[in-house]
Amino acid sequence: MNPKRKKRLYLVLFIVVGVAVAVGLTMYALSQNINLFYSPTQIAQQEAPQGRRIRAGGMVVEGSVQRAAADLDVTFDITDYAHTVRVHYTGILPDLFREGQGIVAQGEIDANGVLQAVEVLAKHDENYMPPEVADALQKAGKMPMPAGQEFNK
């Protein structure tokens, strides 16, 4: 093999190895960081894994939001109208978080079946409900029905 070709070969090998490593890393990182979506029914039936980051979505049950008196702990229930899951979160809830509104919470299910959320999302500019929530509700075959405490502000 002449030296010129050899250099070319090195270059090509370098690139191929680099790309292969990158692809491998990408697939690994992807498999570690996808957050699967579960509905309250799936969680209640223990389909969702414990101790792994998941997303759960549903409507916030009216009257279920409880703020702690001293700090920013908050618990509330989310429902797909078939089953209900309790969510615990510490921190500031998003602007569009309201009872009766669809939200998505990200976090892990603990041993008591409570979702320990690290993030709560209420989509901006959403006229309806998060599509994931809509999908879950549709699958559960249940419709929203909570009686409002008062008219929405």
Positions in the binding site for other proteins (CB under 8 A): 4, 7, 10-11, 14-15, 18-19, 22, 25-26, 29-30, 32-37, 53, 55, 62, 67, 70-72, 90-93, 95-98, 100-101, 106, 123-125, 127-132, 134-135, 137-138, 142-148, 151-153
Distance CA 97, CA 4 (A): 65
Distance CA 11, CA 152 (A): 65
The nearer residue to other proteins, 111 or 128, going by C-beta atoms, is 128
In angstroms, what is the minimal distance from the CB of 114 to other proteins? 20
The nearer residue to other proteins, 1 or 111, going by C-beta atoms, is 1
The three state secondary structure string of 72-117 is: CEEEEEEECCCCEEEEEEECCCCCCCCCCCEEEEEEEECCCCCEEE
Could you tell me which residues come within 8 angstroms of residue 41 by beta carbon, excluding any fewer than 6 positions away?
80, 82, 83, 136, 139, 140
The nearer residue to other proteins, 18 or 49, going by C-beta atoms, is 18
In angstroms, what is the minimal distance from the CB of 132 to other proteins? 5
User: Which of 15, 32, 38, 31 minimizes the C-alpha distance to 113?
Assistant: 38
In angstroms, what is the minimal distance from the CB of 33 to other proteins? 4
The nearer residue to other proteins, 112 or 152, going by C-beta atoms, is 152
In angstroms, what is the minimal distance from the CB of 110 to other proteins? 19
